[in-house]
Structure 1
């Protein structure tokens, strides 16, 4: 119907009853043969999944099927359901494996994947690599968290990506010349999972050497989540802080599909398998499951802030619930230690490390050249990072303020739980 509306008629000749690739252009519904073949394929895949899960339940297939239908799960809920043995960060899992194996060191092996020698790789080679000149002797490291927070393993200039951040923070923890770290945050948040990974890395770092968080224009939701792991938090009086809360959702495009004359067909195995589909809204059952998932993430957010700031859960909740506040209000609420800018935070880090006032600094990520920046964007492996970088480019050309619409583009990504500020503020 969509093609007909624009005067296009597809002529497709298929060899074989089940050769259905062209049906999307010629049919208004999924043909019976295609539905039969797809259903049989999903039956086999689902049976393999049930069989694999049943091995955790002593072969109880019924229990395995029920566990699959009861998803999606947060980490703790998955543990309670018997789907995972423990909830831990990757470094904790490696330490557990080291002790269990009675070895001195655990080596991480990457699964072999096809190398993508595309534009990103070419630009990286032309740019001359990414090795930065090291700072010799005792110094302070300045780590920037700028832009929306996304989960992934490849750096993106437009976002704060969890993988590269965690790797760098662990390197700083092991570098004896790095005596203190200033965490400079200017982020409205983003992925709750990425924020939690980054919080954990900073928390471990702060247990070994002084970490001072310096909040820029905005350190809200996921941005504050990460900052809370520091030993001390500095903010400007007009900084936007707080927004301790999470959101989640999806786009229901059924009305758009209807207007376009497009009729998507979703075939599932598992009671909630299609909960993230854009072809319909959430059912009441799915809404309940997502609400439980978000509630678990919110409680984890409260625990993280409470443990870092030495605040009871009730006190954190009283100033949380998604409330956005100024640096002054955050100071009164106990979310900020000192009102001051970056220079004051840097000086405090030097004092805590017992370094001279002119002790040198190193920065991460270092400023990239034009070719390196293009390489980062072109070579992005994280769908969230790449899609958000594209959003910034397009929206920024419309208006700088459009590009700052908090969680809007992230809601179109696959992450079901976001710790993101609801809006941006411009003072004129």
Structure 2
């Protein structure tokens, strides 16, 4: 009750500010823009991030036209759709890094805006294959005259280092459970296996078909015509226009003229017309006599807790600033979400290619504890594989985007025998042990028969435990799950058909469904995030410590599809170059891991 007077006072101040500014906005109403400019770049979040109450500054401020979240973008489009004086929007697209689910959400928002009788004009300088369907969601597609349309389809690269490592005296020794658990093949195979190739091809086929369908509908061409156009890419601006892939070539400075916002007087050349800026939403709001006001609510909005599990899942603690999901951070976030009485439900957002078995089981147990208190829904739009999928099993339901990478139920473990490299470098080590398997983790030699047998038994036990968790969560038998497992990887659509996820949908749908399970009435809600990504970690170091099956299970398909999963794989980037591999291995051989 103490907050009510403060809310009333805040609303009174908002009312006074609105009333005092109304005369100025009425005066400016005659200059209300017919088109409002938005700039869509990077990977804006689904929902607006809550800003800290007290901040010392730092970081770059967004430009006035920047789309800061899909939530805010949708609110802006719905506001503009109601104004009869607004003809439409100009959507400037630049270096998008959106996963498929977010691209679908943007396209849906633009379709809703167009259905209200408004016009969408898209414009870009550089357009890649992933970005082009977003541009095609507009009524008119524009490209800068010097621009490029890199419409070439999709590709993925799989690497095999086995032969190269053997040439420098390194013998990778990995044991896996499941032929489809292909992550160790990066080190053990001289060439990419047929299984890895077929798995990657299945994802490329799905994404390619979706691309062809989107372009075919938007540009009014047959699928065969679109395939032929893709095969002829990339395109310069003039070629793209000649082939009907864009509607016109327009410089940024000429966009107002192209949209009819500037009239060229008789006898004047277009270049002699005074420059006119396309206005952003903030400028538009200055011309609306009574713009929407965010009144302070007497009754708080229902809250949904968001707990991200992003990056490689590892045990222990971590420092902020990277792409790891440490047990300590995620479990603490889950406990906080469970304790928060205002959070009626929890959305577990999983974006992980896998990680440590023991860490994922700890997080799974924490998810299950929270799920006994309030509804928990797991959502995946990029990668939810191996240990990442294990974590998601604690939720009441699993929701996936159509083309997310899902599954990879399997186990591997191993180490690198660097004895050949050490001999080349003139380094001599003597391993002295007490206990038959005490030298299991040593890099100075390979596994003995006894060590290999012990590790194989441990891996089999881990695999059976993994099957048991999945079978219990999905209401199936271990035999049924085994037929779907052994490292097999699925898209969200195929995972739904296989019974590994419950529903295909978008982020907002999953959020609202989670709240509906808590019997929260449909409407606006607040999203509060608990936890964050952790410190960076060398993937090489992670795998070199993988002789224990407690550190297993990365999904190599997500590595190969790096073009589509940049966020998940960015932490791997520095470890895929020969120089980095060799330097790290030499440091290990010299007994100086820190260099």
- Which band: TM-score by shorter chain? 0.5 to 0.7
Provide, for residues 275-321 of structure 1, a one-character-per-residue CA deviation record: whole Å limited to 9, x for no partner.
11000111111111000111111111111111112111111111011
Once the two structures are TM-superposed, the CA of residue 149 in structure 1 deviates from its matched residue by 0.7
- Find out whether 1:348 has 2:480 as its counterpart: no
Which of 552, 555, 574 is the matching residue for 1:421?
A: 555
Which moves more between the two structures, 415-424 or 177-186?
Answer: 415-424
Matched, 1:303 2:435: no
Contact kept? 1:190, 1:410, Cα under 8 Å: no
Question: Aligned with 1:249: secondary structure?
Answer: strand
1:158 alignment counterpart: 323
Q: Look up the SS of the partner of 1:325 in the other structure.
A: strand
Write out aligned runs for 1:264-413 (5 A).
264-355=429-520, 356-365=522-531, 377=535, 389-391=536-538, 408-413=540-545
1:142 matched to 2:306? The reply is: yes
Q: TM-score, normalised by structure 2?
A: 0.42
Q: Are the structure 2 counterparts of residues 415 and 259 from structure 1 closer, same or farther at C-alpha, using a change threshold of 3 Å?
A: closer
Q: 2: distance between equivalents of 1:199 and 1:364?
A: 16
Cα distance between partner residues in 1 of 2:516 and 2:547: 40
Deviates most, 259-268 or 167-176? 167-176
Q: Aligned partners of 1:310, 1:186: CA distance in 2, in Å?
A: 24
Structure 2 CA distance for aligned equivalents of residues 196 and 340 of structure 1 = 26
Deviates more, 1:147-156 or 1:318-327: 147-156
1:135-155 Cα offsets, whole Å, 9 max, x none, are x77411011111111111234
Q: Which residue of 2 aligns with 1:116?
A: none
In angstroms, what is the RMSD of aligned CA positions? 2.0
Higher strand share: 2
Residues 214-244 of structure 1: per-residue CA shift (max 9 Å, x gap):
1121101011111111101111111100000
Separation of aligned partners in 2, 1:167 and 1:256 = 43
Q: SS where residue 412 of structure 2 aligns? A: coil
What is residue 187 of structure 1 aligned with on the other side? 352
Partners of 1:246 and 1:175 in 2: CA distance? 36
Other structure's SS at 2:495 match: helix
| Separation (CA, whole Å) in 2 of partners of 1:250 and 1:290 | 11
The change in CA–CA distance for 1:390 and 1:185 in structure 2 (over 3 A counts) is: closer
DSSP 3-state at the match of 1:158: strand
Query: Alpha carbons of 1:229 and 1:415: their partners in 2 closer, same or farther (altered >3 Å)?
Result: farther
Question: Do the aligned residues in 2 keep the contact of 1:229 with 1:305 (CA within 8 Å)?
Answer: no
User: Mean Cα displacement is larger for which, 158-167 or 352-361?
Assistant: 352-361
Choose which of 340, 356, 362 in structure 2 pairs with 1:175.
340
Q: Separation in 2 of the partners of 1:141 and 1:272?
A: 46
2:572 corresponds to: none
Cα distance per residue 1:335-376 (max 9 Å; x no partner) = 010011212111111211122431211012259xxxxxxxx7
Native 8 Å contact 1:327 1:336 kept in 2: yes
- 2:493 touches 2:504 (CA, 8 Å); kept in 1? yes
Give the match's secondary structure for 1:278: coil
SS at 1:209's partner residue? coil
Is the 2:436–2:450 contact (alpha carbons within 8 Å) kept by the matching residues of 1?
A: no
- 1:171: Cα distance to partner? 2.4
2:379 pairs with 1:245: no
* SS, match of residue 420 in structure 1: coil
Give, in whole Å, the separation in 2 of the partners of 1:304 and 1:408.
Answer: 28
Which residue is equivalent to 2:40? none
Look up the SS of the partner of 2:512 in the other structure. Answer: helix
TM-score in terms of structure 1 length: 0.58
Using a 3 Å threshold, how does the CA distance of structure 1 residues 408 and 336 change in structure 2: closer, same or farther? Answer: farther
Bigger-Rg structure (1/2): 2
Distance in structure 1 (CA, Å) of the matches to 2:441 and 2:370: 36
Partner residue, 1:110: none
Per-residue CA deviations over 1:109-168 (Å, capped at 9, x if unaligned) read: xxxxxxxxxxxxxxxxxxxxxxxxxxx774110111111111112344320001121122
* Alpha-carbon separation, structure 2, partners of 1:390 and 1:310: 36
Cα offset, 1:420, TM superposition: 1.8
Count of residues paired in the alignment: 260
**For residue 233 of structure 1, what is the aligned residue in structure 2?**
398
Quick one: structure 1 residues 192 and 344, their matched pair in 2 at CA, closer, same or farther if it must change by over 3 Å? Answer: same
* Rounded Cα–Cα distance in structure 2 between residues aligned with 1:273 and 1:243: 31
Mapped pair 1:201 → 2:335? no
List gaps (5 residues or longer) in structure 2: 1-299, 565-595
In 2: Cα distance, 1:427 partner to 1:159 partner: 20
How do residues 253-264 of structure 1 correspond to structure 2 at under 5 angstroms?
Answer: 253-264=418-429
The answer to whether the Cα contact below 8 Å between 1:191 and 1:415 also exists between their aligned partners in 2 is no
